[in-house]
Amino acid sequence: MQINISGHHIELTPAIKNYVNSKLDRLERHHDRITSTNVILSVDKLRQKAEASIHVSGKDFFADCESEDLYAAIDLLTDKLDRQLIKYKEKMRNHHR
């Protein structure tokens, strides 16, 4: 899985990059055909925002979250993406002929 992390109005430290990578590695447990992931971290006054788009063999998923803490926003983001991947995988399994 290729992960691209960018920041708007925020300096990306190695700690933040490692945290995002460790959280997104959890997504590979549910779906092994994730090809690319784009993560955008931004700050807007007191709100920390995390956005991500994932490309999975023919399907794109998008999620964004806001929180007062950047790490909490990343946690919420990965939870949303995790739920979307599980739902997609169940749909593919149930509709398979």
Tokens of 71: 């790490």
CATH number at residue 7: 3.30.160.100
Give per-residue pLDDT as tens, 5-31. Answer: 999 999 999 999 999 999 999 888 877
Q: Domain tally for the chain?
A: 1
Residue with tokens 């956005």: 51
- What Cα–Cα distance (Å) separates residue 56 from each residue in 16, 47, 53? 24, 29, 10
Give the domain range for residue 39: 2-94
Give per-residue pLDDT as tens, 29-84. Answer: 877 788 999 999 999 888 999 999 999 988 999 999 999 999 999 999 999 999 99
- What Cα–Cα distance (Å) separates residue 96 from each residue in 83, 88, 92? 20, 12, 6
Supply the pTM of this predicted model. Answer: 0.89
pLDDT-derived band at 96, boundaries 50, 70, 90: low
pLDDT the model gives residue 45: 86
Exposed/middle/buried for residue 18 (C-beta within 10 Å: 0-12, 13-18, 19+): exposed
